[in-house]
Structures are given as C-alpha cells and as structure tokens.
Amino acid sequence: MEEMQSNLFDENYEFTPASTGKRFINYVIDFAAFYALCYVSGILLAILAPGLFTSENQTTFVSYLVAIVLILAYYTVLEGSTGKSLGKMLTGTKVVTEEGHKITYRDAFLRALSRLVPFEALSIFLGSGMWHDRWTQTRVVEAG
C-alpha cells in the first residue's frame, strides 16, 4: 500500500483529466443530492424549530442560510475526506491538487466556497476551465 501511495504522488505520474461529460454528470448528481439534503433539512427545521418560519422574509433568509451551510458542508466533508463528492464517486473521478496530491479540508472548503459565486457553473463554457478548480489550484481527474 505504501509503495502504491508513493507512486500515486510521484512527480512523473500523469493524471487523466475528467471529461466535460463526466464533469457535467458530477454536477447533476451533486445538484440532486444537494436538493435532497435541503428538502430533508427543511422538513427537520420545520418540525424542530417552527418559529424560524414565521414570515416570508424570515423563511427566505433561513432557506438561503441553510442552503449555504449545506453546500459548504457537503463538498467540504466529502471532498476533504475522500477527494470525491457523490457525483465523483459514481463517475469514477476525484479531485486532486495540481501536483496530484490529495486535497485538504481547506482546499475542499475553498472549492465549495467558490461554487457560491453566481454563474460559476457556467465558467466551463468560457474556455478557461472551472473557476473553482483554477482558484484553488485543483483539478478533477479519473480516479484510476
């Protein structure tokens, strides 16, 4: 295992970048998982803390706050611990640093935070790659 680990992060080891198609599938799966988490969290909050939803403005604020916390937690916990979100697990891809090392929880948190930038998901169509990859010096590769 130790020998395989050292080969994985060898300077000369080349990773195969994940295709745009797999990246899109990752996005769709993670989007669905995120909304499922939001739905379940909304139900739990309505049961456990019904006072949070007393006005439309308060409901909107709480909903946005919960969504931000959930997206940060979802990506930080999954990618920080395994290098894979649910979508990446299902498509056989993972996120690594530009040097090919496992990302840290800090890297995962910063990737999740950068996903909150409006229109970030459309950055792939601008020809410069995903902003959350570029800004955090990470990339999504085939898990191999």
pLDDT, tens only, 82-132: 999 999 999 999 999 999 999 999 999 999 999 898 877 677 666 557 888
Question: What is the biggest distance separating any 2 CA atoms in the chain, rounded to whole angstroms?
Answer: 59
Listed by start position, the domains of the chain span 17-142
For residue 112, the surrounding DSSP H or E stretch is helix 105-114
What does the alpha-carbon distance between residue 20 and residue 55 come to, in Å, rounded to a whole number?
42
Q: Are the C-beta atoms of residues 87 and 78 closer than 8 Å to each other?
A: no
The encoded tokens of residue 138 equal 């990470």
Say what the pTM is.
0.82
Q: Are the C-beta atoms of residues 135 and 114 closer than 8 Å to each other?
A: yes
pLDDT digits (tens, 9 = 90+) for 36-95: 999 999 899 889 988 877 787 778 888 899 999 999 999 999 999 999 999 999 999 999
